[in-house]
Structure 1
Amino acid sequence: MTTNEFTWKVGGAQGEGIDSTGEILATVLTRMGYYIFAYRHFMSLVKGGHTNYKIRASTDREVKYHGDTLEMLVAFDQTTIDENEDELVEGAVIIHDAKFQASTKRGGAVHLCAVPLSQFAKDLGNSIIKNMVAAGASSYMLGIDPSNFYEQIEAQFGKKGAELVNLNKNAFDQGYNYVKEHYGNLQKPVPVASKPEKARLLMSGNECIGLGATLAGCRILAAYPITPATEILYWVLANLPKFGGKVLQAEDEIAACIMAIGANFAGVRSMTSTSGPGLSLMMEALGMSGISETPLVIVDVQRGGPSTGLPTKTEQSDLYEALYGSHGETPRIVIAPTSIEDCFYQMINAFNLAERYQVPVIVLSDLLMGMNKRSFPDLDLSRVTIDRGEVVTQAQLDEMEKGAFKRYALTESGISPRSFPGMKNGRYCALTNEHEETGLEIEDVPMREAQMKKRFRKLSTLERDVNEWGVDYSGPDGAETILVGFGSTEAQIAEAMEQLGGATNVGHLQLRCLMPFPKDAVRPHLEKAQRVVVVDNNYTGQLAGLLCKEIGFHDKMDVLHKYNGNPFTVSEIVSHVKG
């Protein structure tokens, strides 16, 4: 291998330890100083069905996508070869379990290496330990010193006793030595990375969401388990109690959302996490948050729909649901992190926005970002700030007569100071009916119109600010072609831009805030462009539709769709642009 990168993948049936094999190598490479992106492909089955784990590693730059090609494949079964051989580059190596006669349509373009993974594990008395045999085989073929794996084995299994540590080391050595003896001429030493002074983080988007929420001051997560958002629940359950927080597993998503609203009403920063089907169930509660002006943070880790759809595959088809869902008209903020670490920062942003504007904030992640990991330097904790918005003080309440507090006062900004339960003279009723300034139910026309205008008026300030942080642009001013995406597509579009280079006059807009829409930041680029390529990870072109609604230029729109559950590849984007 002559480049500064390499790619590796392991695959087999679910339940065979595929993820643990990948996790071991991902952790070792990160500790050695490589930048990595680790991608899990799996089916919605507990056992059986094909699954794989791919790692892309670089010595000198951060990687945010798992790559289009593959240099080494570890196959526990023939299905793994059949499903993944199209990614293999010329001269790639396939390490396969010797228990099956491997075949490939690539012929002599790739090298087949039969290794008795299952037999070694059986001889050691533990069938699942073939994942460590595979790690050893991979270690030799990649030219990685075994000591790096020994450190990981001791760290991972040391607390369970020396016997288990020695068993795993033995399994590792069996794989390493067998490949060294039988296929030493095929070794492909990877480029050497420089170990950083400070260890890099290796995290998923779901973990960053949990950490961001915790440091933002969230102290209650109310949720119902649903793939691919369940990992947020697990992470918070393991960590939030250390900070005095609580996790409430509700009976369904409706209850979870209402619990979060109730906790926010009480003054405790709270959230709920879900995926598309759960967000659908939360729609009535979202309207409740809107009309009662109670802050609320909802995280939607998108997956393939509709209905149960593709629970373990990625998609970005909840955009319209997030923007326009709920009966009636409810002001809300919709933001979409653009990378795994941005999930952390946007959770800080989400809680501040929810309390500053007293509206529901929906954070749109997706499975590609949520359930996969990448390594990156430390998070910048100086960016963690807490803004609780306008809260009436007890001194102000003391000056009022009993019952005079106007929770829904018709202010010029549209934001009315709120009180918390227990504050003297601060009591009010947060009705889900339309109400007047103190919260009493009304149906008269002037007050109804005034309250509607007030609720929507409070986003006017954000509409100005969002042009600064709600969109990122890279490329020449006045680019002829503009690539537009939101969320996790940022990585593939950015790499496509690199491959296109100076051959095409191309710019890249990645949207981080989708409502309110950063019109003033987006419009100039679309006005100058001749062609707007929208990278839309759904069937109906929802992002393109939003651009047309907010900006126009229907005649310039060129939509690249993908909705089969797999992420966009860089080559797909490049080919489409070159057309």
Structure 2
Amino acid sequence: MISQLSWKIGGQQGEGLESTDRIFSTALNRLGYYLYGYRHFSSRIKGGHTNNKIRISTYPIRAISDDLDILVAFDQETIDLNAHELREGGIIIADAKFNPTIPENLSAKLYAVPFTGIAEELGTSLMKNMVATGASAALLGLSIDVIKEVVEEEFGRKGPAVVEKNVEAVSRGAQYILELTGGPLEEFRLAPGDGAERLFMIGNDAIGLGALAAGCRIMAAYPITPASEIMEYLIRKLPKYGGTVVQTEDEIAAVTMAIGANYGGVRAMTASAGPGLSLMMEAIGLAGMTETPIVIVDTQRGGPSTGLPTKQEQSDLNALVYGTHGEIPKVVIAPSTIEECFYDTVEAFNIAEKYQCPVIIMTDLQLSLGKQSAEKLDFSRVKIERGKLLRDLPPLAANELFKRYEFTEDGISPRVLPGDKHGLHHVTGVEHDQEGRPSENHVNRKKMMEKRLKKLKNLRITDAIKIDAPHEEPDLLIIGMGSTGGTIDEARSRLDAKTNHITIRQICPFPAEELRPYIEKAKVIAVVENNATGQLADQIKLHVGSHEKIRNILKYDGNPFLPSELYHACKELI
């Protein structure tokens, strides 16, 4: 038996690959396996090659695998594009309908299974994905019963006849592959999972759940890949808790609507990707100037312009830190795991209200859409902190206005909700005095700028930097952000050298003093990023220094790093 295995299914977008992947991986999760998924999909509504790759393990994993054990192909293009990933002795299970062939130099075994033929015998070719699911499970020596359970849940709403046909398709697929192979192949038989209950979800769903737990009750958004799943999640969930999702006409409307809702006292958010964030920049400045809380999610993808809308990249950092005109207090948080997506979203809402400023949650496509195992969430950690939000104000003196932008020692002014009869104040996007009335007085301007900018002087999120530093003076310090953490750890495990690893989770304000001692003690520093210009490395150089020790490890072809790529890149630096 083996402790881990990688499986991929490919075909044309719209052929039902998602349901195959969902049912197969859900069953594996229930059996207690650790899973890490990666979706490669075309930027079209329908058509174009797509594939889903899952790494299955009996121990925790947080990276895609270097190679591939089993490839399930619905068409010849899947074989042509993906067969090179197969390890020696790997297996291709392909639909017999297209007369599959494999490259002559490929050391892999091809099994042609009539996915479509069996499905058509059962009534519709649409069930070919269930035939493929059954064949995959049988080849791994997995019980078909748990697959059938998930199928019943997936199709139960369509009635018992549909469930019965799909269950039969699973059984027929399993039976056919076992007849071809003579039984489960020992070199592909997975050791049993531990049976433990774990979450299996994408980062976007974790962010949506975090927003719900944090008390968010309005989301205004415009659909865009890879952020749309946050909106889709909250469309299903928010109405059950008295909230709502508004699909706006564009991203400008989305962010300004969310700002307005927050001003009215309702926790509200929006989510988008690079192109949408570009449109939101002026309004983010408005939130900074009016000191209105707002939470914004940026799920990074390949740019610029439309770029690679369905591919991995981490190139929005500079835009998020510097994008708004003028100077405002702004927080940028970068979660690196599914669990952090949840907890960081809760913290983002608290920070936004406590410091009365925009908070941006920066993820990337792999973290946003890559489905993976996660430990159960601890809801006792969820606390709602609303900062200096005042209620039941005492009466003001005659002709006096509430000092909404009062000069305070910590730079954070008292806040009141509209409608409080003793909280009357003016709100404007132009510079203003303590009551909010427009002012161009140079003394007031200087004091207001200093008031706003000092709010974040001492801000540190929970684990602003995540540290794994067993060595006092490492040969190599590897620094990353977002979804790269698991891949870095796996690459480190193969290196014969003293290595430390830091994931930077607070991008702005930059946690320079926390990072500095680790930078100073390292001989060489490798900064791992999915962009072409080393944006995170530049932040380190700007705030900490040590230019001479910093080396960039960059990837910007639309794909996430593989552990082997990082291993070889790091090995050259030691």
- Normalised by the shorter chain, which TM-score bucket? over 0.9
Q: Which residue among 87, 93, 96 is the counterpart of 1:95?
A: 93
- Residues 1:487 and 2:485 aligned together: no
Runs of 4+ in 1 over 6 A off after TM superposition: none
CA distance in structure 1 between the aligned counterparts of 2:397 and 2:291, rounded to whole angstroms: 22
Maintained 8 Å contact 2:401/2:425: no
Secondary structure, in 3 states, of the residue corresponding to 1:394? coil
What's 2:326 paired with?
328
* In 2, Cα distance between equivalents of 1:244 and 1:511: 36
Measure how far apart 1:403 and its partner are: 2.6
Q: Tell me the residue number matched to 1:190.
A: 190
Write the distance in 2 (CA, Å) between the matches of 1:404 and 1:129.
68
8 Å contact kept, 1:283–1:325: yes
Tell me which residue corresponds to 1:31: 30
In the other structure, the counterpart of 2:552 is 559
Matched position secondary structure for 1:271: strand
* 1:69-218 mapped onto 2 (5 Å cutoff): 69-105=67-103, 107=105, 109-184=107-182, 187=185, 188-196=188-196, 199-218=197-216
1:515 equivalent in alignment to 2:508: yes
Select the residue among 491, 497, 506 that pairs with 1:496: 491
Structure 2: distance between partners of 1:289 and 1:161: 50
Tell me if 1:424 matches 2:421: yes
Does the aligned pair in 2 maintain the 1:91–1:110 contact within 8 Å?
A: yes
Q: Equivalent residue of 2:163, what SS?
A: helix
1:456-501 Cα offsets, whole Å, 9 max, x none, are 0111121xx34x621011132221211111111111112112222x
State the AA in 2 paired with 1:422.
G
Query: Aligned to 2:415, what secondary structure does the other structure show?
Result: coil
Q: Is the 8 A contact 2:392 2:420 kept in 1?
A: yes
Give the corresponding residue for 1:18.
17
Kept in 1, the 8 Å contact 2:209–2:342? The answer is: yes
SS in 2 for 1:9: strand
Equivalent residue letter for 1:35: Y
For the pair 1:414 / 2:408, whether they are aligned, the reply is no
Aligned positions of 1:391-470 closer than 5 A: 391-395=389-393, 397-398=394-395, 400-462=397-459, 465-466=460-461, 469-470=463-464
Instruction: Give the CA deviation at 1:402.
Output: 4.7
Structure 2 unaligned residues grouped into runs of 5+: none
SS in 1 for 2:249: coil
The equivalent residue for 2:517 is 524
Tell me if 1:471 matches 2:479.
no
Q: Residue deviations 1:417-468, cap 9 Å, x none?
A: 1010111220111110000111110111110000000000111121xx34x6
Q: Deviations over 1:251-291 (max 9, x none)?
A: 11001100000011111111110000000000000000001
Tell me the secondary structure at the aligned position of residue 469 of structure 1.
coil
Per-residue deviation at 1:108? 5.9
Who is 1:367 aligned against? Answer: 365
* RMSD of aligned Cα (Å): 1.4
Structure 1, gaps ≥5 residues long: none
| Aligned 1:338-353 pairs, distance under 5 A | 338-353=336-351
Alignment check: 8 A CA contact 1:71 1:88 kept:
yes
Aligned with 1:412: secondary structure?
A: coil
Question: Residues of 1 paired with 2:264 and 2:401: CA distance?
Answer: 20
Equivalent of residue 247 in structure 1, options 241, 245, 248: 245
Counterpart residue type for residue 453 of structure 1: E
- Offset, 1:63: 2.1
Is contact 2:225–2:310 with CA below 8 Å preserved after alignment? yes
| Aligned 1:530-545 pairs, distance under 5 A | 530-545=523-538
Alignment of 1:383 with 2:381, yes or no, is: yes
Conserved in 2, the CA contact under 8 Å of 1:26 and 1:38? Answer: no
The 1-side partners of 2:102 and 2:397 are apart by 81
Matched residue, 1:256: 254
Counterpart code for 1:354: A
Letter in 1 for 2:96: A
Separation (CA, whole Å) in 2 of partners of 1:469 and 1:516: 13
Contact 1:37–1:64 (CA under 8 A) maintained in structure 2: yes
Do 1:402 and 1:425's aligned partners in 2 also have CA atoms closer than 8 Å?
Answer: no
2:98 is paired with a residue whose SS is coil
Query: Residue type of the partner of 2:482?
Result: G
Q: CA deviation at 1:556?
A: 1.3
Count of paired positions: 569
1:201-229: CA deviations, max 9, x gaps? 11110000000001001010010111110
TM-score, normalization: structure 2? 0.97
Q: CA deviation at 1:38?
A: 2.1
Cα distance in 2 for partners of 1:175, 1:216 equals 45
2:466 and 2:502 in contact (8 A); partners too = yes
Structure 2: distance between partners of 1:376 and 1:339:
8
Change (3 A) 1:141 1:532: same
CA contact (8 A) 1:303 1:316 kept: yes
Cα distance in 2 for partners of 1:194, 1:534 equals: 35
CA distance, structure 1, for counterparts of residue 566 and residue 253 of structure 2: 41
- Deviation for aligned residue 1:400: 4.9
CA distance in 2, matches of 1:458, 1:568: 37
* Paired amino acid for 1:495: E
Tell me what 2:227 maps to. 229
Could you report, residue by residue, the CA deviation over 1:212-249 in whole angstroms, capped at 9, with x for unpaired residues? 00100101001011111011110000001111111111
| Cα separation, 2, equivalents of 1:333 and 1:400 | 36
1:569 pairs with 2:568? no
Provide the secondary structure at the position in 1 that maps to 2:110.
strand
- Separation (CA, whole Å) in 2 of partners of 1:415 and 1:243: 31
Quick check: 1:310 aligned with 2:308?
yes
Report SS of the residue matched to 1:310.
coil
C-alpha contact 1:480 1:528 (8 A) present in aligned 2 = no
Question: Which amino acid is the alignment partner of residue 209 of structure 1?
Answer: I
Is contact 2:201–2:373 with CA below 8 Å preserved after alignment?
Answer: yes
The alpha-carbon deviation at position 392 of structure 1 amounts to 2.5
Supply the distance in 2 between the matched residues of 1:246 and 1:157 (Cα, whole angstroms).
Answer: 28
